[in-house]
Amino acid sequence: MTKTAHTPGPWAVVNGSLISSNLDSEGQEIDRPVGNQGIYVAQTKGPDSNPNAARIVACVNACEGIANPDVVPEAIAALRGVRWRSADRDNMEFVATITYSQMDKLRAILAKLEGRS
């Protein structure tokens, strides 16, 4: 596994406000489970500490495998431009209506997310 610039995921919330991982900085699993003397990444404080910890963990875990997480807001904005229509309501099939320029933009964003540009 390649070395990352942060503690590898998955991360977990332990005891409400402690954020923990059971991987070391090289991505190797340590023999202690998350929350049981695993690697504590951070602790949130204040009246919103529990929901803040949950949000941080959700964001980190959702970005796992994305080479450039800074591109995520751009990807979401581009996807909002895609129009969907139901092709078959009984089978819940949908068809995207997308222009060539939107498709090119989405492909460029995907390349950024994957670290290919």
Q: How far is CA 56 from the centre of its chain?
A: 10
Residue 111 confidence (pLDDT) above 80: yes
Verdict on whether the full-model pTM lies above 0.75: no
* Tally of CB atoms within 10 A around 10: 13
Q: Is the pLDDT reported for residue 37 higher than 90?
A: no
Provide the pLDDT confidence category of residue 29 given band limits of 50, 70 and 90.
low
List pLDDT tens digits, range 40-98.
778 899 999 999 999 998 998 888 888 888 899 999 888 888 877 766 667 667 777 88
User: Residue 84: which H helix or E strand, with range?
Assistant: strand 83-88
- Residue 102 has what pLDDT? 86
Q: What DSSP state is assigned to residue 28?
A: P
AA letter at 96: A
